[in-house]
Structure 1
Amino acid sequence: MATMLLGKKIGMTSLYDEKGVLVPLTVIQVGPCYVTQIKTEETDGYNAIQIGFEDKKEKRTTKPLKGHFEKAGVKPKRALHEVRVPNPQDYELGQELTVQLFEGVKRADVICRSKGKGFAGVMKRHGFAGGRDSHGFEWHRHPGSIGASAYPSRVFKGTRMAGHMGDKRRTVRNLKVFKVIPDKNVILVRGSVPGARNGYVVVRRAKDER
């Protein structure tokens, strides 16, 4: 059985739980996803299925991908993801997978891409304190020394410096599944999830739930 599905972050909301506590929630549209390819050990060396999520215009699809989707008997999809499964023979091309996969699941992991912040300095990127703001000091937001001169006469790998911030793949583990709404293909998880609204995410069962 597949343990993960593609989805899209809708935004955040809050609801009261059974104890009357206001709980912050992330709203994620999960599926419907469609099986676009089936891989087996005999043909590919491992067992997996490829799933597609959210339709896109045919004119914006390349010819190789158009043929790939036609073979599966589905409309072109915006997002594709591969899911390892122990029994690929249980799936068919074009089969629909919905959020019902998560009914009864208590915890889930969400894989997403964080918001890109562009080129950022060390104070924003790493939380450096910066320099003094008085007494003629001219290096307020600079990183300071990044290495000695005589020894080691080089900058160590991994030294925290300014650079591109955000736009990284992130996994938030063991989020509590607050509610599953099958008729709307929506799952509500407790807490926040990195990334912008309408960004694609992968929702999978937590390790203890697989």
Structure 2
Amino acid sequence: MVPSCLHSMQAVRAVKAVVSKTGLLPCGIQRTLRAGLIGMKKGMTATWDQHGKRHPLTLLHFGNNQVVQIKRPEVDGYSALQIGAFDCTPKNVNKPLQFHFQAAGVPPKRVLKEFPVTPDAVLPVGTEIGVRHFVAGQYVDITGISIGKGFQGAMKRWGFSGGPASHGASLSHRSLGSTGHRKTPSKTWKKKKMHGHMGNDRITTLNMLVYFVDPVNQLIAVRGAVPGHAEGYIFVRDAIRLKQHTHNQTLAPPVPTAPPPASPDDLAVTACPAVQFTNPFAVPE
């Protein structure tokens, strides 16, 4: 028999999938899903807030994000925007993609990605989306390909403790130990944590704080580490978790996206509000 906890986990995953793709909550409330952006991880730096606390930052660059195609419910069965980023020469894309970009009237792009959106966040084909799409102080979810580590043992791959260093242990110091049962069920279960290929997986890091937004250089800085190596492509969208989504709504991010800059003030660097940081050195009351 399948444990009841497994059924509940599957139900939770199904609800998460519906919320992330349609924005419809189980209680019937409809969220607004905005398009995400395609960026490139440039490296890491650090800064200090007004309390003297150090914050590690990852710099993300967004190059020429444009809407390439609109997916409509009446035609495709779902609502989404196909975003392309980082212009390239026509020789760097195949013939089908060349015709695809020509039909949309946009230059060839190196990366294409679909983001589910709600009807109120649909943008016309060819619309350019800049970093002002995000607001300093909001939370985002970032997806990337983690750095590959090759074939690794269970101790490095999963953090196992290994066997004894002495007292009778022979050639099993870094062994993972038992991998299954005896006659019943006479097999090793799938997904068992064992030695194998480590890294090079699609990883999504949730709830990353946007520390500052630089419209001139098309950069944003997020607090913490982002999956992948430098110069790797990443996909950034608004945070999907309820607590962070509620916080983002208080900052009023532009829907469906920010308009083109109309004055020099629109190109100024915006930083995360100071009220979001607490003093870690303050004496508890």
Unaligned runs of 5+ in 2: 1-32, 250-285
Q: Does 1:97 align with 2:129?
A: yes
Conserved in 2, the CA contact under 8 Å of 1:48 and 1:88? Answer: no
Q: Of 86, 92, 102, which aligns to 1:70? A: 102
Q: CA deviation at 1:20?
A: 2.9
TM-score, length-normalised on structure 1? 0.90
Aligned residue for 2:118, secondary structure, equals coil
Structure 2 equivalent of residue 167 of structure 1? 200
Distance 2:83 2:35 in 1: 12
Instruction: Tell whether 2:185 aligns with 1:152.
Output: yes
Shift in Å, 1:109: 1.5
For the residues of structure 1 that align with 2:60 and 2:231, how far apart are their CA atoms? Answer: 9
> Bigger shift: 127-136 or 3-12?
127-136
Q: Partner amino acid for 2:104?
A: A
Contact preservation (8 Å) 1:49, 1:88 = no
Larger mean CA deviation between 197-206 and 141-150 belongs to: 141-150
Q: Name the counterpart of 1:177.
A: 210
CA distance, structure 2, for counterparts of residue 11 and residue 104 of structure 1: 19
Q: Secondary structure at the match of 1:103?
A: coil
Structure 1: distance between partners of 2:123 and 2:189? 50
Instruction: Confirm or deny: 8 A CA contact 1:38 1:88 kept in the other structure.
Output: no
Match of 1:120 among 152, 159, 176: 152
Aligned AA for 1:32? N
In the TM superposition, residue 112 of structure 1 has moved relative to its aligned partner by 1.5
- Distance in 1, matches of 2:41 and 2:197, equals 24
More strand by share: 1
> TM-score, normalised to structure 2's length?
0.68
Q: In the TM superposition, what whole-angstrom CA distance separates every residue of 1:99-139 from its partner, at most 9, and x where no partner exists?
A: 11113552222112211112211111111222333457122
Percent of aligned positions that are identical: 43
Q: AA paired with 1:151?
A: T
SS at 2:86 equivalent: strand
Question: Cα offset for 1:81?
Answer: 0.8
Distance of 1:48 and 1:159 partners within structure 2: 36
Alignment length, in residue pairs?
210
The structure showing larger relative contact order (alpha-carbon pairs under 8 Å, at least 6 residues apart) is 1
Match of 2:55 in 1: 23
Counterparts in 2 of 1:89 and 1:28: CA distance versus 1, 3 Å: closer
Counterpart-to-counterpart distance in 2, 1:42 and 1:73: 23
Q: What is the aligned counterpart of 1:110 among 103, 128, 142?
A: 142
Deviation at 1:90, TM superposition (A): 5.0
CA distance in 1, matches of 2:210, 2:82: 25
Unaligned runs of at least 5 residues, structure 1: none
Q: Find the aligned partners of 1:39 and 1:119 in 2 and give their Cα distance.
A: 40
Report the Cα offset of residue 142 of structure 1: 2.4
> How far off its partner does 1:144 sit?
2.7
- State the distance in 2 between where 1:156 and 1:93 align: 48
Aligned match of 2:118 in 77, 86, 89? 86
Whichever structure has more helix as a proportion of its residues is: 2
Shift in alpha-carbon separation, 1:146–1:11, aligned structure 2, 3 A: same
1: CA distance, partners of 2:222 / 2:41: 11
CA contact (8 A) 2:163 2:169 kept: no
Are 1:119 and 1:162, in contact at CA under 8 Å, matched by a contact in 2? Answer: yes
CA distance in 2 between partners of 1:85 and 1:152 (Å): 45
- Aligned 8 A contact 1:110 1:171 in 2: yes
User: Which residue does the alignment assign to 1:140?
Assistant: 173
Q: CA RMSD in A?
A: 2.1
Aligned to 1:68, what secondary structure does the other structure show?
A: helix
Q: Distance in 1 between matches of 2:184 and 2:74?
A: 56
